[in-house]
Chain A
Amino acid sequence: MATENIFSPDSLEAALGLADQYGTDLLVIAGGTMAMHLINDGFISPKVVMTLHRARLNAVRAVNGHVEIGATTTLTRVAQMNEAPLLAEAARHVGGWAIRNMATLAGNLFVPPPAGDAAVALLALDAEVIAARKGGLRRIPLDQFFTGLMETALAPGELVTQIDVPRPRGQTAFLKFGRRQANAPAVVTVAARVARDEAGICTEARIALGAAGDYPLRAKQAEAALQGRRLDPQSIADAAEAAMKEAQPFNDALASAWYRRKMAGVYVRRALEKIGD
């Protein structure tokens, strides 16, 4: 089936109108870095396509460390965000310069693993997705957004318009292990955030894994292993062990599932060591 039409709406209202009208027949393209690859290789043949490059959804607003990022903000822009250092570091690990000029932050929520590094950082930051449809919007916590391989909680006719990143509590670390230093999908990606009280006891922990399942996931057993404890070699080893068990990795040309599971443990340990005492 050949693609019948492509729309480039110049406002959110027009985009939501098209999303409502075409529902599941519509493929939304933000930066194109994933969708066009799938089209070029013949994996998908959408009936109707909508690009968001003219929809003016790329505004960024930072207030007291809370950052609201428009859906089509490019990863080049995200990589320069001093307001969100963990997310900026994750964005710098995606693709090369040209890809980051095209790829968008919301688009990164829709790419299959082992891509999707920015989404891993967003998960550790408790980001929320703003999903709009004709006549309303809702907020979806990111850890309820992913439902399966390239499947999300979005309903037909809904668009991601913005991602809200709360001011992070505690310290953060981001580590990506790829087969080369740049322009490489992940063997495993880890984003971690740990908040501690004055006595050094963990009051909140987030450990997010990429390339360790069908979508970026939180290693909740690993997070629980840190709760109420100091960040010391024993608690870190326990968290790394838990993350290894929770990972649901896959085989591909980059790495075997066995190796990815091992590396999930190693990189969770290293990320927590980086956060340190």
Chain B
Amino acid sequence: MVTVSFKLNGRPVAAVAGPVESLRDLLREKLQVHAVKAGCGQGGCGSCTVLLNGEPIVSCLTPAVVADGQEVTTLEGIGTPAKLHPLQEAFYDNFAAQCGYCTSGMITVAKALLDRNPHPAREEIVEALSGNVCRCTGYVPIIAAIQAAAAKMDGRG
């Protein structure tokens, strides 16, 4: 067992992890961060995406020890029910979540994209989302939501 200490959504946390326990399981089962979804466990679906020092990674394939001393951001750190992030508002307004299972991964990747590139072209959005699979909503409203959020955030800036 290894003690892993890191900053989770701006707050210091510590938890005990098994040697090859994934960051996904540590977040979901020990730190009760349930926006991180357990999907394929193979890196193929993107539903467990989190940001490690601002970079998207799939937490199912990340040994928990890799997070030690680092900063992890999950959907919970992007917005809250009381204060939604513009991306979350745009997903709502554009009907970009049907079952919702891919949504937290989608928004997390979109956040990382807009942090780097506030005015992404449609192809850049598609490229950024290419590791995140949606099986019911469809990609068209998801892309539209990200375009709407970018426009909205631009207006605020």
Contact = CB atoms under 8 A, between A and B. Distances in A.
B20 A3 contact: yes
Contacts of B42: 37, 40-41
Interface in B20-60: 20, 22, 41-44, 46, 49, 52, 55-58, 60
B131 A95 contact: yes
B63 A32 contact: yes
Contact of A97 (B44, B60, B130): B130
Nearest to B133: A183
Contacts of A181: 130
B65 to A, nearest CB: 6
A64 interface: no
Interface string A22-39: 000000010111001101
Of A6, A31, A33, A39, the most chain B CB neighbours within 10 A belong to A6
Size band of the interface chain B makes with A: 20 to 34
B18 interface: yes
B57 A98 contact: yes
A53 B66 contact: yes
Of B42, B112, B130, the most chain A CB neighbours within 10 A belong to B130
Given A40-B22, A96-B46, A6 B63 contact: yes
Contacts of B132: 96
A177 B22 CA distance: 31
A32 B66 contact: yes
Contacts of B60: 36, 40
Contact of B130 (A2, A49, A96): A96
Contacts of B66: 8, 32, 51, 53
Size band of the interface chain A makes with B: 20 to 34
B46 A4 contact: no
B19 A3 contact: yes
A46 B63 CA distance: 14
B62 A182 contact: no
Contacts of A96: 46, 129-132
B65 A8 contact: yes
A41 B46 CA distance: 17
A97 B46 CA distance: 10
A62 interface: no
A188 B42 CA distance: 21
Given A6-B2, A49-B20, A98-B49, A36 B62 contact: yes
B86 to A, nearest CB: 21
Contact of A182 (B52, B112, B131): B131
A102 B50 CA distance: 12
25 contacts: A2-B18, A3-B20, A6-B20, A8-B65, A32-B61, A32-B63, A33-B61, A37-B41, A40-B41, A40-B42, A40-B61, A41-B42, A49-B19, A49-B63, A51-B63, A51-B65, A53-B66, A96-B129, A96-B132, A97-B130, A97-B131, A101-B55, A182-B130, A182-B131, A183-B130
Interface of A: 2-6, 8, 29, 31-33, 36-37, 39-41, 46, 49, 51, 53, 76, 95-99, 101-102, 181-183
Interface of B: 2, 18-20, 22, 41-44, 46, 49, 52, 55-58, 60-63, 65-66, 68, 109, 112, 127-133
